[in-house]
Structure 1
Amino acid sequence: MQNLNGKIVAFLGPDGAGKSTMIELVQVRLAEKGIDFSYHYFAPGFLKRYRPKGDGAITTKPHEGRQYGAVLILAKILLMLFEFRMGVARLRRQPRLALFDRYVLDILIDPKRYRMGHVRWWMRVLLRLAPPPDLLVIVSAPADLIQSRKQEVPAEETVRQVIAYEELADIAPRGLIVHNTTTPDAAVSAVLAKLEALS
Structure 2
Amino acid sequence: MTDQDNKIYRDLLDTLDADGVSYAVLRDDVTATKPIRDLDVLVSARDAEAFRRSADAAGFIMLRDDYFNPGKEVWLLYNNGRGWLLDVHYKMVYRGVEFLQTEKLLANRIRRNGYYVLCEEDFLLSLLFHNVLAKKRIQEKHAPQLQRLLAANLDQKRLRTHLQAVGLQKIFDALAADFERACSDPSFVAGMRRRALRVILKNPANFFTAKVMLPWRRFKSAFAGPPRGVLVAFLGPDGTGKSTMIKAVKEHLRRYALGAEVAYMGPWGGSVLNLRKIFFWLNPSPYRSDYKAWYAGKLKEKPGPLRGVARIKFMFRSGLYYAMLIVEMWTRWRVRVLPRLRRQKVVLGDRYIHDILTGYKNRPMDYHVELRQKLCARYPAPNIGILLDSSPEIIFKRKPQLDREQLALGRELYRQVAEQYGFIVLDTSDSVARTLQQFDQEVMPLLLAHLRRQNNPAGSPIEKEAAASRTAEVRV
TM-score by length of 1: 0.77
- Of the candidates 421, 445, 453, which is equivalent to residue 172 of structure 1? 421
**Please, which moves more after superposition, 129-138 or 186-195?**
186-195
| Cα-Cα RMSD | 2.9
Instruction: Note the alpha carbon deviations across 1:150-185, whole angstroms, 9 max, x for none.
Output: 034311111112111122111224x11011111122
1:96 to 1:149, Cα distance in 2 relative to 1, 3 A: same
Aligned-partner SS, 1:182: coil
User: Who is 1:74 aligned against?
Assistant: 322
For 1:156 and 1:137, locate their aligned partners in 2 and report how far apart those are by CA, in whole Å.
24
1:48 to 1:181, Cα distance in 2 relative to 1, 3 A: closer
**Please, which moves more after superposition, 2-11 or 14-23?**
2-11
Q: Give the deviation of 1:187 after TM superposition.
A: 1.5
For 2:402 and 2:393, locate their aligned partners in 1 and report how far apart those are by CA, in whole Å.
12
Which of these two proteins has the greater Rg computed from alpha carbons?
2
List runs of 5+ in structure 2 lacking aligned partners: 1-60, 65-227, 275-286, 293-313, 449-476
1:148 to 1:139, Cα distance in 2 relative to 1, 3 A: same
For 2:367 and 2:338, locate their aligned partners in 1 and report how far apart those are by CA, in whole Å.
26
User: Who is 1:8 aligned against?
Assistant: 231
Q: Please state if 1:49 is matched with 2:273.
A: yes
Q: Please state if 1:163 is matched with 2:387.
A: no
TM-score by length of 2: 0.35
User: Who is 2:132 aligned against?
Assistant: none
After TM superposition, the structure 1 = structure 2 runs for residues 1-199 of structure 1, keeping only pairs within 5 Å, are 3=63, 5-42=228-265, 48-49=272-273, 69-87=317-335, 88-112=337-361, 119-120=367-368, 121-173=370-422, 175-193=423-441, 194-199=443-448
User: How many equivalent residue pairs?
Assistant: 181
List runs of 5+ in structure 1 lacking aligned partners: 51-63
Bigger RCO of structures 1 and 2 (CA < 8 A, at least 6 apart): 1
For 1:49 and 1:11, locate their aligned partners in 2 and report how far apart those are by CA, in whole Å.
23
Letter in 1 for 2:248: L
8 A contact 1:108–1:119 mirrored in 2? no
For 2:257 and 2:397, locate their aligned partners in 1 and report how far apart those are by CA, in whole Å.
36
**Please, which moves more after superposition, 4-13 or 130-139?**
4-13
Give the fraction of aligned pairs with identical amino acids, expressed as a percent: 23
1:21 to 1:112, Cα distance in 2 relative to 1, 3 A: closer
8 A contact 2:358–2:364 mirrored in 1? no
If each structure's helix is expressed as a fraction of its own residues, which one has the higher value? 2
Instruction: Note the alpha carbon deviations across 1:58-98, whole angstroms, 9 max, x for none.
Output: xxxxxx9x797222223123213422553444333122110
1:111 to 1:197, Cα distance in 2 relative to 1, 3 A: same
For 1:192 and 1:124, locate their aligned partners in 2 and report how far apart those are by CA, in whole Å.
31
Aligned-partner SS, 1:164: helix
For 1:116 and 1:108, locate their aligned partners in 2 and report how far apart those are by CA, in whole Å.
9
1:138 to 1:2, Cα distance in 2 relative to 1, 3 A: farther
User: Who is 1:57 aligned against?
Assistant: none
